[in-house]
């Protein structure tokens, strides 16, 4: 029962190589943080799990089922996702945004008429309460919430179907430090309660050290670290993020080539 | 790539050339535009339109004696006012006329009319006065026009409703980010362009041939053209909608229709309401016109009266149309306030 990356490589149609030979396994219940500087391939890695990006080499499997176009419809509801820019529908209410997380579980005609079963409506209310919002927020438009509150809605939406795996792509990148801690704590709590694994990309090392059971680090699309937070010594961190001088010379070469 | 490292420095800021508001390219465009205006202006006789309008205004202000435009308008306006309110019918022409049971508010009058006719013996025009009895309904014509106006409004409403029902699927299949297949995108766009390419008045001609005179032809003519418009604009909004929410719902496995309903519609709804209100407004105005070719509505009445030189009746109709458009403006601005 785990999420497995096997020799995953990803080359975008324009030739950008985003991932190279990535292999690791995330067991259920683990809070796994993906570190790496901008462009390292964190988002691409997460997207390979739910088919928003298709690996050009290797494979990803969820609980033993490979992610392919044919299995995607069945797998996607088992993988929740939380986004950096929240990706809520701004003009829709909090209630609608949260219950939209259960769309795969409702037939299309019912969904179009907005007829969600009572169990799902109750679940949405329960989740909205769990993430720290109130009944008054139910009818509030998502656009009228603060960033922190919006991401709370994002967390609630991601857990509507009790997925065993949750992807979080820089979920706190646009939030202040204290709110970031609150949101990650919330994410950790909701996941632990359900025994769900979290694959969360971050760019704040301190937050990674604080919340991760395990850290994997990417650099230029390659896995350069995989281990518990304690093993992440200073030298390692420099290796992951690279020195500015080195980066400049790399980009010069790329331009010259 | 790191932007800061890629700036190439050329000279100090005091040597920089600050962008100017317009250069030789603008001048060139202006010259070409001028040439086009002169050429096309000659084609459409715009000079005459301006000169005669000027004369007309001058005549209106009493500055010049005579103006063709002022005479033309004056003649018609003079006959249009006062507008026709009453309906006058010769009782002899009313089947089963019963003077004891008149319609509400109506009364019977005796009119003395002078008729010029040719005497067959002498081959001269002679004036004869005759008396005839007429039934006068004081607001009879207003009521008639109102009924026609309501029919016009009904044509516009149904034309709009059908346009929405046809435009929505066209937009769904025509939007690249929702359409199940690119062939459907191409097909749907071709249909949409075709629908918009045929003006209502033209398609109404054909629908009248196929469906016979009456409002049904009008409804279809309006609906098809507007469906083309809505199909195009609905689709553009679907394509331009923020991708974030769509990605979020696609990531958990929502299908296209659910995406449309939950990630896209909430974003585009205000625009959709605006487009649809515009179409309703346009359809009301078009519905007054398509009657000219027999497709129902008040246009038929207008043309009939115009052809009979009954300008007072025409005046009533024009005022009625104006009032209708005015009322519609109020309604749609109320809608906008509520919804957008
Ligand atoms: N759709 C795409 N088409 C082409 N190249 C892409 C695409 N998406 C990402 N890339 C490239 O792939 C590489 C990895 O991108 P990715 O978004 O996965 O990085 P990231 O680690 O998430 O960065 P950030 O921290 O800025 O979000 C980058 O070089 C990026 O330019
Ligand atoms: Mg990213």
Give the integer Cα–Cα distance in Å for B253 and A51: 10
Task: Decide whether any atom of ligand 1 lies within 6 Å of the A8 Cβ.
Answer: no
Residue B218 and residue B332 in one domain:
yes
- pLDDT category at B100 given cuts 50, 70, 90 is confident
pLDDT at B340: 67
> Given a cut of 80, is residue B8 above it in pLDDT?
no
Residue B205 and residue B244 in one domain:
yes
Residue B249 lies in a domain: yes
Quick: pLDDT tens for A82-114. 999 999 999 999 999 999 999 999 999 999 999
Residue B74 and residue B148 in one domain:
no
Contact A104 B244 (CB under 8 A): no
Residue B116 and residue B76 in one domain:
no
A62 in contact with chain B, both atoms CB, cutoff 8 A: no
Which neighbouring-strand residues pair with B205?
none
Element (H, E) at A66: strand A65-66
Task: Decide: residue B156, CB within 10 A, 0-12 exposed, 13-18 middle, 19+ buried.
Answer: buried
| Mean of per-residue pLDDT scores for chain B | 89
Contact B267 A85 (CB under 8 A): no
Q: Tell me the CATH number at A146.
A: 3.40.50.300
Domain around B115: 87-138
In chain B, % of residues over pLDDT 70: 97
Residue B16 lies in a domain: no
Residue B33 lies in a domain: no
Backbone angles phi and psi of B167, in degrees to 5: -70, -35
Quick: pLDDT tens for A127-184. 999 999 999 999 999 999 999 999 999 999 999 999 999 999 999 998 999 999 999 9
**What strands lie across the sheet with A17-27, from one edge to the other?**
A17-27, A2-11, A57-62, A65-66
Give the integer Cα–Cα distance in Å for A69 and A67: 7
Give the integer Cα–Cα distance in Å for A102 and A62: 20
Number of domains in chain A: 1
H helices of B198-253, in order, are 200-211, 215-240, 243-251
Of B80, B102, B126, which marks where a domain is finished? B80
pLDDT at A254: 44
Residue B184 lies in a domain: yes
Task: Decide whether any atom of ligand 1 lies within 6 Å of the A40 Cβ.
Answer: yes
Report CA-CA distances (Å) from A146 to A131, A137, A150, B285: 14, 12, 6, 46
- pLDDT category at B327 given cuts 50, 70, 90 is very high
Residue B23 lies in a domain: no
- Of B73 and B244, the one with more pLDDT: B244
pLDDT at B7: 58
Ligand 1 atom nearest to A37, measured from its CA? 25
Residue B10 lies in a domain: no
Enter the pTM of the model: 0.82
pLDDT at A243: 56
For residue B5, give how far its alpha carbon lies from the nearest alpha carbon of chain A (Å): 7
Residue B11 lies in a domain: no
Q: In testing the pocket of ligand 1, which one of A9, A10, A16 has its CB within 8 Å of the most ligand atoms?
A: A16
Enter the tokens of residue A61. Answer: 């499997």
DSSP character for B24? H
Residue B273 and residue B205 in one domain:
yes
Residue B206's nearest CA partner among B225, B231, B229, B187 is: B225
DSSP character for A251? H
In chain B, % of residues over pLDDT 90: 58
Give the integer Cα–Cα distance in Å for A81 and A169: 8
Residue B208 and residue B292 in one domain:
yes
Any idea which residue has 């034309």 for tokens?
A: B159
**Which residues in A lie closer than 8 A to residue B2 (C-beta atoms)?**
247-248, 251
A243 in contact with chain B, both atoms CB, cutoff 8 A: no
Q: Which residue's alpha carbon is nearest to atom 24 within ligand 1? A: A38
> Given a cut of 50, is residue A193 above it in pLDDT?
yes
Task: Decide whether any atom of ligand 1 lies within 6 Å of the A16 Cβ.
Answer: yes
Number of domains in chain B: 3
Q: Is B340 helix (H, G, I), strand (E, B) or coil?
A: coil
pLDDT at A248: 43
Instruction: Pick A112's closest partner by Cβ from B2, B250, B257.
Output: B257
Q: Would you tell me how many other CB atoms lie within 10 Å of the CB of residue B55?
A: 17
Q: Tell me the CA–centroid distance for residue B40 and ligand 2, in Å.
A: 55
Domain around A184: 2-255
Task: Decide whether any atom of ligand 1 lies within 6 Å of the A12 Cβ.
Answer: yes
Residue B239 and residue B255 in one domain:
yes
Give the integer Cα–Cα distance in Å for A200 and A82: 9
Q: Tell me the CATH number at B257.
A: 1.10.3720.10
Task: Decide whether any atom of ligand 1 lies within 6 Å of the A44 Cβ.
Answer: yes
**Angle, CA of A242, A247 and A252, to the nearest 5°:** 165
Residue B254 and residue B266 in one domain:
yes
pLDDT at A151: 94
Contact B263 A157 (CB under 8 A): no
Residue B266 lies in a domain: yes
> Given a cut of 60, is residue A246 above it in pLDDT?
no
> Given a cut of 70, is residue B276 above it in pLDDT?
yes
Segment among B118-132, B156-170, B239-253, B261-275 with least mean pLDDT: B118-132
Quick: pLDDT tens for B38-92. 999 999 999 999 999 999 889 888 888 888 888 888 888 888 888 888 888 888 8
- pLDDT category at A252 given cuts 50, 70, 90 is very low
In chain A, % of residues over pLDDT 70: 94
Residue B175 and residue B319 in one domain:
yes
Quick: pLDDT tens for B140-197. 899 999 999 999 999 999 999 999 999 999 999 999 999 999 999 999 999 999 999 9
pLDDT at A233: 72
Torsion over CA: B89, B93, B96, B99 (sign): positive
Report helix angle B265-289 to B140-174, nearest 10: 140
Cβ pair B143, B97 in contact under 8 A: no
**Which residues in B lie closer than 8 A to residue A100 (C-beta atoms)?**
249, 254, 262-263
Contact A87 B5 (CB under 8 A): no
- pLDDT category at B123 given cuts 50, 70, 90 is confident
- Of B337 and A86, the one with more pLDDT: A86
Q: Which residue's alpha carbon is nearest to atom 17 within ligand 1? A: A43
- A170 φψ region: left (φ > 0), alpha (ψ -120 to 50), beta (else): left
Q: Chain A residue closest to B253 (CA)?
A: A76
Instruction: Tell me: cis bond preceding B82? Omega within 30 of 0 counts.
Output: yes
Contact A76 B253 (CB under 8 A): yes
């Amino acid at each position: 029962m785990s999420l497995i990356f096997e020799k995953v490589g990803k080359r975008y149609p324009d030739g950008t190589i985003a991932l190279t030979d990535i292999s690791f396994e995330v067991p259920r219940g683990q809070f796994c943080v993906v570190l790496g500087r901008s462009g390292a391939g964190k988002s691409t890695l997460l997207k390979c799990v739910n088919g928003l990006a298709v690996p050009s080499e290797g494979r990803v499997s969820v609980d033993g089922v490979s992610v392919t176009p044919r299995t995607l419809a069945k797998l996607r509801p088992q993988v929740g996702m939380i986004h950096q820019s929240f990706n809520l529908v701004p003009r829709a209410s909090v209630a609608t945004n949260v219950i939209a997380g259960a769309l795969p579980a409702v037939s299309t005609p019912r969904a179009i008429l907005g007829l969600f079963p009572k169990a799902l409506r109750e679940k949405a209310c329960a989740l909205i309460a769990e993430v720290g919002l109130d009944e008054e927020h139910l009818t509030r438009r998502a656009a009228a919430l603060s960033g922190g509150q919006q991401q709370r809605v994002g967390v609630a939406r991601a857990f509507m179907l009790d997925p065993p795996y949750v992807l979080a792509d820089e979920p706190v990148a646009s939030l202040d430090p204290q709110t970031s801690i609150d949101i990650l704590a919330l994410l950790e709590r909701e996941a632990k309660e359900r025994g769900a694994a979290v694959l969360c990309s971050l760019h704040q090392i301190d937050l990674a050290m604080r919340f991760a059971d395990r850290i994997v680090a990417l650099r230029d699309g390659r896995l350069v670290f995989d281990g518990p937070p304690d093993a992440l010594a200073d030298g390692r961190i420099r290796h992951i993020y690279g020195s500015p001088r080195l980066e400049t010379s790399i980009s010069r070469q790329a331009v010259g080539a | 790539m790191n932007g800061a490292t890629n700036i190439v420095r050329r000279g100090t800021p005091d040597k920089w050339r600050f962008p100017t508001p317009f250069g030789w390219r603008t001048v060139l465009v202006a010259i070409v535009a001028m040439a086009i205006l002169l050429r096309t202006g000659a084609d459409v006789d715009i000079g005459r339109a301006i000169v005669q309008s000027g004369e007309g205004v001058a005549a209106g202000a009493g500055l010049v004696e005579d103006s063709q435009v002022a005479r033309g308008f004056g003649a018609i306006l003079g006959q249009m006012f006062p507008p026709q309110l009453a309906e006058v019918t010769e009782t002899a022409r009313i089947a089963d006329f019963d003077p004891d049971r008149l319609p509400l508010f109506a009364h019977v009058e005796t009119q003395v009319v002078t008729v010029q006719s040719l005497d067959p013996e002498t081959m001269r025009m002679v004036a004869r006065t005759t008396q005839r009895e007429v039934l006068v309904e004081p607001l009879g014509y207003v009521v008639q026009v109102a009924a026609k106006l309501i029919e016009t409004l009904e044509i516009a409403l149904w034309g709009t409703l059908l346009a929405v029902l046809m435009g929505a699927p066209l937009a769904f299949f025509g939007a690249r980010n929702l359409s199940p297949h690119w062939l459907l995108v191409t097909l749907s766009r071709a249909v949409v362009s075709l629908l918009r390419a045929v003006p209502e008045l033209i398609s109404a001609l054909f629908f009248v041939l196929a469906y016979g005179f009456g409002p049904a032809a009008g409804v279809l003519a309006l609906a098809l053209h507007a469906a083309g418009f809505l199909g195009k604009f609905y689709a553009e909004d679907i394509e331009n909608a923020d991708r974030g929410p769509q990605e979020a719902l696609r990531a958990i496995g929502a299908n296209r229709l659910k995406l449309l309903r939950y990630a896209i519609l909430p974003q585009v709804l205000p625009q959709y309401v605006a487009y649809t209100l515009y179409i309703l407004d346009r359809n009301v105005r078009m519905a007054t016109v398509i009657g000219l070719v027999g497709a129902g509505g008040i246009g038929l009445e207008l043309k009939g009266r115009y052809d009979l030189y009954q300008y007072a009746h025409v005046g009533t109709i024009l005022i009625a149309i104006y009032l209708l458009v005015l009322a519609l403006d109020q309604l749609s601005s109320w809608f906008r306030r509520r919804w957008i």
